[in-house]
Amino acid sequence: MTTSGTTRLASHARSVRLCIGHGVLLVSILALTFGLAGAAGAGDGRRDVDARRCHRPLEPGLHTVDVLQNGVNRPLQIWVPTGYRGRSVPLLFWLHGSGTTGESAMATADPDGRPLFPDDADEHGYVVATPSGAIPFDPAPGISGFAWNIPGVPLVGTQFYPPPGTPDDVEYIDLAIDAIGDTVCLDERRIYASGASGGGRMASQLACDLSDRIAAIAPVMGVRAPRESDTPGFSVECNPSRPVPVVTIHGLLDPINVFADDDPRIVPGSSWTYGVPEALRRWTELNGCLDSEPMRRSITEHVDLIRYRGCRGNARVWLYEVADGGHTVPGSAEIPFLVPLIGPTNQELDTPDAIWSFVSLHRLRPGRP
């Protein structure tokens, strides 16, 4: 079931200025303020949509899709791109950070107030979906949101893990793919997951647990590849059924999900127990990449692209290393008074375009487990 709201998001984005570009960061800001511790492969053929046979017309713009999980409705927003005519299109999940919502993720905007992902979806012809996590998470009075139920990851700034019976968010995303596919025609070989901060951690988990449906991932300031030893008794080993292409975007000045492995702000048992280099080492191992020394290329004054080669099944592993980036989404609006808390926002990199340029290189191969 779907309800429609085709008015463009620019006005909504402007109405949530504190969330623009940084909505995914609110809980991290509060954690600092209050002193808290820190494509190869294939699907299973469930809905092999043929663009010549599928015909699900839907007006371009913003819609709400109902997703039933164990009898409970968990609706999400989708943006249907301009030019959609009822033929199969790719799908990108853009997952919110801890303490915010899918609605604020959809409203992530550039300095002029234009919504980043709907605009990019219109340009490239894909659907954007912004669900909300299972765990109500209100980090401070007057601020309400959600966090993702990720195995081995406590709530940000705490040592508390989701209690037994908390809805399974991997299952939820699996169900969401089906619900969205009942609403618009999806190319199920081209379903991708991205997200910022906690949403990046969730996108990483989808690569581990849902690699039969997710063709590639693009975590922003949140790349993970969990091992059981990370948080003993809670973590589940990342064991994808195939190599999964990964691109990540991360600022060297991030004070929340810090970049370096040896940064003293990394806290054992927290939501961030190792740095980006270690996460990439794990993904290159999972993907069987041959390069011990990746290729580095400067693409702007402050952004380098680092690429590992020789990966099995062409499952590339890339990093956009942002020298002047904090715990922020490059290309989003910067709020000056927050810079001391979360760091600066790079304006040289177009995050949705960088994500789409990578993930669109990859699709699931039919007929392989």
- Mean local confidence (pLDDT), 203-229: 98
Answer yes or no: is pLDDT of 126 > 90. Answer: yes
Question: Tens of pLDDT along 18-75?
Answer: 333 333 344 434 333 223 222 444 333 344 434 445 878 899 999 999 999 999 999 9
Query: What strands, in cross-sheet order, belong to the sheet with 89-95?
Result: 2-5, 61-65, 76-80, 127-130, 89-95, 186-196, 216-220, 246-251, 317-322, 303-308, 295-298
Region 151-162: mean pLDDT is: 86
Q: How confident is the model at residue 292 (pLDDT cuts 50, 70, 90)?
A: confident
Structure confidence by residue, pLDDT tens digits, 173-190: 999 999 999 999 999 999
Q: At what angle do helices 169-181 and 198-209 cross, to 10 degrees?
A: 80
Residue 328's pLDDT band (cuts 50, 70, 90): very high
Residue 326 has pLDDT above 70, yes or no: yes
- How far apart, in whole angstroms, are the C-alpha atoms of residue 103 and residue 88? 25
More confidently predicted of 227 and 15? 227
Q: How far apart are CA 277 and CA 282, in angstroms?
A: 9
Fold assignment, 2-359: Rossmann fold (3.40.50)
- What is the model's pLDDT at position 53? 56
Separation CA 126–CA 221 (nearest Å): 23
Q: What is the mean pLDDT of residues 94-113?
A: 97
Q: Does 81 have pLDDT greater than 50?
A: yes
Domain boundary assignment for the chain: 2-359
Q: Which residue has the tokens 């002193």?
A: 35
